Structure 1
Amino acid sequence: MLLLGVGLGVSACSKEEPKKEEAEQPAQESPAEPVATPAVRPPVNKDAKPMKTVQAVRPQETVEEPGQVDEPVNTAQAHKDTAAQGSALNIAAALEKSDIREAVGYLGLLEEATIVGQPENKQYGVTRWSSEGKNEFGFGLQVWKPGSSNTAVKRFDDLYAQSMGGEQTKDVGDSSFRTEHHDLRSIVFLDRRRSLVASLTCDKSLCTFDQLVELSRRVKRRL
């Protein structure tokens, strides 16, 4: 491309050829756009079997036969059965519902229950009557028969040492103590001749210590 001189007084008839500007530099080329590589499909294996759609497996439901009904587990009855088989100390007859009615005067609902904690065995047994109060313990009896008078004394001493503010008394048996903790009252007594230790517990709201002493004396005669 030629450019005309501007403001240099050059005659229109001049035979001189206008000077050529420096050769234009070639236009810069735009970088080439990358060419997308076509996706390569894997070769088809004609011998491969088509994949099956796997469905989520639902848990198998147990179909009960007509007339077959699962009964709820009765922990109190299971406790009785275990004691009857000789694997636990059976003391169910030592504390009966009628004893609670007569000694304490409680006339509310009483249902057989168990005491969670130390598992029962041939040297340890429990029985309990739960009351109708939602947060009440009711009345419970624990008995230890460790096998000899000396071991019974040691068991009694251990329970006293572990008690919360236990107070030694002569309410029942050869030795006894009272304790009050977590809205519960307990009397623990030792019977050397029978080589046993017993603990009777009730809610503060259900019995006084005097009533608990009377109930403990009834229990002692039956152990």
Structure 2
Amino acid sequence: MIAVVTDLGGKVTGAHRTWPDPRHRDKAPIDTPRRAMGDLLSNAVRFGLGSGVMAACEGIETVLSLRQVLPDMPMLAARSAAHLAAIRFPDTLRRLYIVRDNDPAGNNARDSLIGRANAVGIEAIVLAPRLGDFNEDLRRLGVDSLRTLARVQVAPRTSPASWRWRHSPKEEADGIRRRARADASHRRRGPRLGLHGGGSP
């Protein structure tokens, strides 16, 4: 499986490759079943056109699993917990669903994204799996269980009609200024250390 990594403007910055095992529902039994190349930090593999609402995940498999039950939700795969913590926000973003993995690295990425989002006026909402991640939920618990779990966490707050968030020109200009300041500060500090996700480096 080959996935394209892009920046916010849609420019291709890299590629992510995964070798699956055609005989089993898993990655191929080789030393490095995932590899990536290019300019990867702060960029992502994108699914759908994000506007006011978007979901951010660690892995491509997580996105593909969630889109089985939320097919219209714009999503991105950052490819690892460290890269998830460092994603750039679109200027139009008003609500961010943080799709966490159930491990310490996922917790750190969640906390970092919540802080960054709140600092620029973006509502951050966490989506949590029952097992290790939403892909494991799909494989072990089934699509009906995944649908119930995802929609219970999403439905009270949003719906497909609201995924194209409408905002005034002043709100948009204010958001652009906040993000520019936050991006400059984030670049000076660099991403938080100590995050080790399941994706490629």
TM category, shorter: under 0.3
Greater C-alpha Rg: 1
TM-score norm. by structure 2 comes to 0.24
TM-score norm. by structure 1 comes to 0.23
Q: Which has the higher helix share?
A: 2
**Higher RCO by CA contacts (8 Å cutoff, separation 6 or greater):** 2
